[in-house]
């Protein structure tokens, strides 16, 4: 006996949320159409009706994850800070706090990341997102170098951006396996000990 009906948008969103829960709980490798259906309290045929193939469900889940994870999406309040170094500091802090606040998103994203080494379609999406991330930091670093040219002799905006991205990703990896032992404050203090004293 069929359950209540729903519009396509609503149902897709419901299924994607369920897929997210299952993927976080059992890993992408353990993601199963039937498990998603059970999580959403639907029949597994309905999941296939809305996503046709499992592959498409997984890809759409990645798109959903990217769309709902606010990485560097809201640097509005940061843009008003007068000093470029303060802006960098604020963005780094903001990103680290996001990682600490949403460990499940971070973990799943990293799992997709590893999967991208095997799946072309996923690598394309991940690479595009990485590029977007890098460009955002590139702009910050360029402004920083322009504002204080003497601060980092010999460094390029490219290199500094790559460095910042690696920093954040390293934090993500560390916070993922050891969330309570990972101290955001101490970490940022070390960063400022190396970088910030020049700002």
Partner DNA sequence: GAGTGTATTGACCAACCGGTAAATTCAAGC
Partner DNA sequence: GCTTGAATTTACCGGTTGGTCAATACACTC
Three-state DSSP class for residue 164: helix
6-35 positions binding DNA, by CB under 7 A:
6, 8, 11, 31-35
**Which partner from the list its own copies, DNA, none does 1 bind, CB cut-off 5 to 8 Å by kind?**
DNA
Which range binds its own copies by CB under 8 A, 49-57, 59-67, 79-87, 191-199?
191-199
Q: Does 128 bind its own copies (CB under 8 A)?
A: no
Binder of DNA out of 13, 49, 67, 114 (CB under 7 A): 49
Q: Which does 171 bind (CB under 5 to 8 A by kind): DNA, its own copies, none?
A: its own copies
Applying CB under 7 A, among 17, 21, 24, 46 the residue interacting with DNA is: 46
Q: Which of 84, 101, 112 is nearest to 20 (CA)?
A: 112
Give 120: exposed, middle or buried? Use CB within 10 Å, 0-12, 13-18, 19+. Answer: exposed
Whole-angstrom Cα distance, residue 110 to residue 67? Answer: 15
Would you say 148 and 84 are in contact if contact means Cβ atoms under 8 Å apart?
A: yes
Do 37 and 46 touch, CB atoms closer than 8 A?
Answer: yes
Instruction: List interacting residues with DNA (CB under 7 A).
Output: 1-6, 8, 11, 31-35, 42-46, 48-50, 52-55
């Amino acid at each position: 006996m069929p359950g209540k009906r729903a519009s396509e948008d609503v149902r897709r969103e419901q299924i994607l949320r369920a897929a997210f829960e299952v993927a976080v709980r059992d890993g992408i490798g353990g993601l199963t159409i039937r498990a998603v259906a059970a999580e959403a309290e639907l029949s597994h045929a309905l999941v296939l009706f809305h996503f046709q193939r499992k592959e498409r469900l997984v890809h759409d889940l990645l798109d959903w994850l990217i769309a709902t994870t606010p990485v560097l999406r809201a640097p509005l309040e940061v843009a008003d800070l007068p000093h470029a170094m303060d802006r960098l500091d604020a963005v780094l802090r903001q990103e680290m706090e996001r990682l600490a606040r949403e460990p499940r998103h971070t973990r799943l994203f990293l799992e997709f990341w590893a999967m991208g080494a095997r799946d072309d379609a996923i690598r394309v999406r991940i690479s595009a997102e990485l590029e977007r991330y890098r460009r955002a930091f590139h702009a910050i670093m360029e402004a920083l170098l322009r504002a204080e040219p003497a601060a980092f002799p010999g460094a390029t905006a490219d290199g500094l951006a790559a460095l910042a991205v690696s920093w954040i990703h390293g934090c993500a990896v560390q916070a993922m396996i050891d969330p309570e032992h990972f101290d955001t404050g101490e970490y940022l203090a070390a960063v400022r000990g190396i970088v910030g004293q020049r700002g």
